[in-house]
Amino acid sequence: MTNHWVDIRNADVVLVMGGNAAEAHPVGFKWAIEAKKQNKAQLVVVDPRFTRSAAVADFYAPIRTGTDIAFLGGVINYLLSKDQIHHEYVKAYTDFSFLVSPDYDFADGLFSGYNAEKRSYDKSSWSYVRGEDGYVKTDPTLQDPRCVYQLLKQHYSRYTPEMVERICGTPQDAFLKVCAIMASTAGPERSMTILYALGWTQHSQGSQIIRTGAMVQLLLGNIGVAGGGVNALRGHSNIQGLTDLGLMSNLLPGYLTLPGEKETDYAEYIAKRAPKPMRPNQMSYWQNYEKFHVSLMKAWFGEAATKENNWAYDYLPKLDKAHDGLMVFDDMYQGKVNGYFCQGFNPLASFPNKGKLGAALAKLKYLVVMDPLATETSEFWRNFGEHNDVDPAKIGTTVFRLPTTCFAEEDGSLVNSSRWLQWHWQGAEPPGEAKTDAAIMAGLLLRLRAMYKEKGGAFPDAILNLSWPYRDPHEPAPDEVAKEFNGRALVDLYDPKDPTKLLRKAGEQLDGFAQLRDDGSTSCGCWIFSGSWTQAGNNMARRDPSDPWGNGQTNNWAWAWPANRRILYNRASADPSGKPFNAKRKQVWWNGSAWVGSDVPDFKVDSNPADGMGPFIMNPEGVARFFAIDKMAEGPFPEHYEPFETPIGVNPMNGNPQAVSNPAARVFKGDMEVFGTAKDFPYAATTYRLTEHFHYWTKHVRINAVLQPEQFVEIGEELAREKGIASGDKVKVRSNRGYIKAVAVVTKRIKALNVNGQKVHHVGIPIHWGFTGVARIGFLSNTLTPFVGDANSQTPEFKSFLVNIEKL
Amino acid sequence: MALQSLDIKQRSATTTPSTQVRQTTEVAKLIDVSTCIGCKACQSACMEWNDLRPEVGSCSGVHDNPTDLGPEAWTVMRFSEVELDGRLEWLIRKDGCMHCSDPGCLKACPAPGAIIQYSNGIVDFHQENCIGCGYCVTGCPFNIPRLSAKDSKAYKCSLCSDRVAVNQAPACAKVCPTGAIQFGAKEDMKDYAEQRIADLRERGFAKAGLYDPPGVGGTHVMYVLQHADQPGLYHGLAEDPSISPLVSLWKGVAKPLATAVLAAVSLGSLFHYVTKGPNEVAKDIEDEIEREERAAREREEKEGAK
């Protein structure tokens, strides 16, 4: 979240789109209800289904799954053509005036530089025009046809209300009503928050959907302000922590990135990640990259990381290619993977195309499952009738199950959607032989290290030199690891501005990432967590609910990264002169000599507004980007593409067969062939979660199983009539990859939509059932879903695919 | 269950006078249907607190689960899809005992002390005294109590009388994430309901209102409804769960069916007659007759509808 949970109550408009907050986040949804109760907020829901969120909304608009960019593109067109935007904000705080390269072009659904064979772009034309001084050229009058504002207007002028209706199936009057409600927040006195979740991410163009939402918020001046923001509601209590700590194949902790295999030169690796400002007087905060990186390497490798060996740069693996989950499972399917560790993860249920996943696991020599539960993945080799129809005699994979503790059985911190690190304490003893994940990983490390020591190996350095300074090497304790993330001084640290002033003595915990150095004098396991456990103690354990500003910020409750900042980009809540846009909801302001406020300023605290530093300090431009330059795989402006399995078979935005679906999305050999077409699978399907369950865990719990005992699918009354299906009937739902059987819930809450001159029905498919647990045995719903992901993040397209349905 | 720290106002089939000395506050649970998201946290908390574990059921084609109230399911969410003026609404009502001020179950119960009403308004079943006759089921205008096949005793929501006795909110109110379930003094709940109703009216629900049906003397579980003029929209919530005593007395006595039923159900009221005089008894009996009669009528209607 750019903002935080409690802040939702400050909103005047709450847009729930690409998510179903009431269903999936019932506790946090309290704040949407509070916004309605206390702030007279309007709650708007846009979704293919009339959801639990819609049940308490002021307005609901239907949309065909996978067409959110068309809808939001239509909103951008509405706001620009009616000129209902926050003028001062967009002019000063975005790239509106930036001039774009004359080589940039968009035609027939494709941006300039497309290579059809590689399904990717040469992005060199997606760039700015630079002046002789090296800075980006701008046109403050916004008249130049090549400025971002004009290109934006031109690009989205095609997204008319008629086109929105044709693509999304949203009736024009409903669409325009949503636009009008959103536009009501264009002035500084009102704000809108957007709450989204997997309904925006799990598409082949998910990242661009989110970008489009962010662009709408920028036009309305709703980023950086209380009650505003683009707010990702994370689905797991610590999935924010997972990304923060870099548990992605291409990331290091704190959103630092792993080098590619061509990046053999350390200085070049750093330079590429520490861009110089693109405009005068801008901060370009990532120029500090090396301080964060060196401190990380000191935390990992201690004395072994020296200036001479480029801070152990060669110990880092260099990426030969992407190794995201889909790629790993495709490699496994090709027989290229011997062993796989599943830590708190149930991939047989959580990646797409269960048939392919099971076949891939069967090609492993060994599979290690670390989990508190007997997951489907750990039982993949066992025959459960048609729910998992495999022949154990033909599967040679050795499966090791290592029972782990769950969160309630250990101390630690969880990072919630608000970016708060909240410490929690052990509430129960672990059962049986369960061990903490830390103990298991430590055991592996110590044995591997002993083997490397004894027998040598191709490159033992990284394992042998890993710093392992814990009280009990067999089980690093949560407090030790947390302190390591915060970072400490390795020598006496003096203030660079005043060499007589001692900041921290050697060995002391650091106060924050501003103290990190690139000379090896500090260590820090995750720079954005620096400040969470200082010399003063564990800030994550703070539980002070006081709210002196009355804005719900409670700055002394737990600790938020970065720097305990509660609303990101909060400098943008004040006008260019440093005065809050909205006096009623002040975040930060310039007091004549410094930036102060109710929140920790997301800015250089002594930067006089007269110097013109922009509020988006992480961008070298200093402003927010409508034009994404080279940052996105499929183009600098979000463009509507159909899901890979499209019920209409064409992209109404263009006539180009190459640009029906995301032209830059990666599709593996063999997977394109098993995409279904509307001829055989005429219905748009979407998967989702139910409030009664959490993923595939709670089907192991009696009470949750009682509340939602049996697998079902939802269809509208019209489709039910056509198919002769009554509520409660058993049905079979098929995609080109397999089938599931479930009970039919026939509902008024899913209506047929008129799309591109044809009628499109949705089939709603809740996940949660499987072949382990105490709920009724069911089918893993990913039996149906296609093996393709977002072009940028590779998040699977679980939300939009094609099925057929029949009564059993 | 028996609980000594709350004063008892009335007991079924009992002549012992009720306590008079202590002043207790009348409590109520307010369920704001307009902010309920149907998450079933209340059902979960009810099962946890009251140690109830129904069997894992099945999906019957709706989101409701368990599909009905039961001896092990004291509250269930009722989901109703209604279309009003072309606008779809998904009305989600938490169903369970209404804790009537004038409880039909208690009046109908022939087992001494099996049903009691505390001075704070909570109506509670003391299963140790229950004889399993099922009269409470018939006497309830909301179709709430359920007989258990395991022990032939009747069960329903206790409004967590054990929690309330020690100044805790009922488990459902405690866990409700959106604040749709509030608990407190009945007067405070009515004040809060006023605010919610004003907000709903501003949002276009002209007929928003409080459900606190006078026919049963008001209830200690109240609803804020978007369409208070049509409670039936909410999964058949009783439109008017009572009939004027005067009318029913005469109408009831005039009908032979009612007279026949009188003999059957009035045993439990005999003690009332003896100790409190004919007026009281007449009212009690007349209520019972009326309920019996209406239940019979409803059964007939149902049969007819099939």
Q: pLDDT tens digits for A698-712?
A: 999 999 999 999 999
Nearest-angstrom CA–CA distance, A263 and A88: 42
Give A626-692 as a DSSP string. SS-TTSSSS-SS----B-SS-SSSS-TT---GGGSB-TT----TTTGGG---TTT--EEEEEE--TT
For residue range A128-144, what is the model confidence (pLDDT) as tens digits?
A: 999 999 999 999 999 99
Burial of B3 (0-12, 13-18, 19+ CB in 10 A): middle
Average of per-residue pLDDT across A403-421: 96
Give contacts of A705 with chain B, Cβ < 8 Å.
Answer: 56
pLDDT, chain B, mean: 85
For residue range A66-124, what is the model confidence (pLDDT) as tens digits?
A: 999 999 999 999 999 999 999 999 999 999 999 999 999 999 999 999 999 999 999 99
Q: Is the pLDDT of residue B274 over 50?
A: no
For residue range A600-635, what is the model confidence (pLDDT) as tens digits?
A: 999 999 999 999 999 999 999 999 999 999 999 999
CA distance A727 to chain B (A): 5
Q: Is the pLDDT of residue B200 over 50?
A: yes
Across the interface, of B35, B54, B63, the residue whose CB is closest to A33 is B35
Contact B37 A705 (CB under 8 A): no
Give contacts of B90 with chain A, Cβ < 8 Å.
Answer: 50, 52, 54-55, 749
For residue range A287-339, what is the model confidence (pLDDT) as tens digits?
A: 999 999 999 999 999 999 999 999 999 999 999 999 999 999 999 999 999 99
Q: Is the pLDDT of residue A182 over 60?
A: yes
- Locate the domains of chain A by residue range: 657-807
Q: Percentage of residues in chain A with pLDDT exceeding 90?
A: 100
Residue A663 structure tokens: 């032209």
Nearest-angstrom CA–CA distance, A28 and A36: 14
So what's the pLDDT on residue B5?
A: 75
Q: Is the pLDDT of residue A273 over 50?
A: yes
So what's the pLDDT on residue A754?
A: 98
Average of per-residue pLDDT across B141-163: 97
Q: Is the pLDDT of residue A676 over 90?
A: yes
Q: Which residues, listed in sequence order, are joined to residue A125 by a DSSP beta bridge?
A: none
So what's the pLDDT on residue B18?
A: 82
Long-range contacts (CB closer than 8 Å, 24 or more residues apart) made by B184-191: B184/B27, B184/B28, B185/B25, B185/B26, B185/B27, B185/B28, B186/B25, B186/B26, B186/B27, B186/B28, B186/B121, B186/B218, B186/B220, B186/B222, B187/B26, B189/B28, B189/B29, B189/B30, B189/B222, B190/B28, B190/B222
Label residue B19 by pLDDT band (50, 70, 90).
confident
Across the interface, of A23, A50, A743, the residue whose CB is closest to B88 is A50
ipTM of predicted complex: 0.95
Question: Chain B window 76-115: which residues touch A at a Cβ cutoff of 8 Å?
Answer: 81, 83, 88-92
Contact A728 B60 (CB under 8 A): yes
Contact B39 A745 (CB under 8 A): no
Written as one letter, the residue type at A387 is H
Which residue in chain B is spatially nearest to A725 when comparing CA positions?
B61
So what's the pLDDT on residue B289?
A: 56
Label residue B251 by pLDDT band (50, 70, 90).
very low
Average of per-residue pLDDT across A341-367: 97
For residue range B71-88, what is the model confidence (pLDDT) as tens digits?
A: 999 999 999 999 999 999
Contact A691 B38 (CB under 8 A): yes
So what's the pLDDT on residue B294?
A: 66
Across the interface, of A30, A692, A712, the residue whose CB is closest to B179 is A30
- Residue found under tokens 């048609």: A386
Neighbouring CB atoms inside 10 A of B279's CB total: 8
Cβ atoms of B33 and B91 closer than 8 Å: yes
Output the CATH code of domain A657-807: 2.40.40.20
* The pairing of beta strand A110-111 with beta strand A801-807: unpaired
So what's the pLDDT on residue B306?
A: 43
CB pairs under 8 A between A and B: 123
Q: How many CA atoms lie within 13 A of A507 on its CB side?
A: 0
Nearest-angstrom CA–CA distance, A798 and A789: 9
Q: Is the pLDDT of residue B293 over 80?
A: no
Average of per-residue pLDDT across B266-291: 47
Label residue A738 by pLDDT band (50, 70, 90).
very high
Give contacts of A29 with chain B, Cβ < 8 Å.
Answer: 37, 177-178
Beta-carbon contacts of A689 under 8 Å, excluding residues fewer than 6 positions away, are: A20, A23, A24, A198, A235, A695, A766, A767, A768
Across the interface, of A691, A711, A747, the residue whose CB is closest to B40 is A691
pLDDT, chain A, mean: 97
**Mutation choice for A interface testing from B50, B63, B64 by most A CBs within 10 A:** B63
Residue bearing the bigger pLDDT, B292 or B87: B87
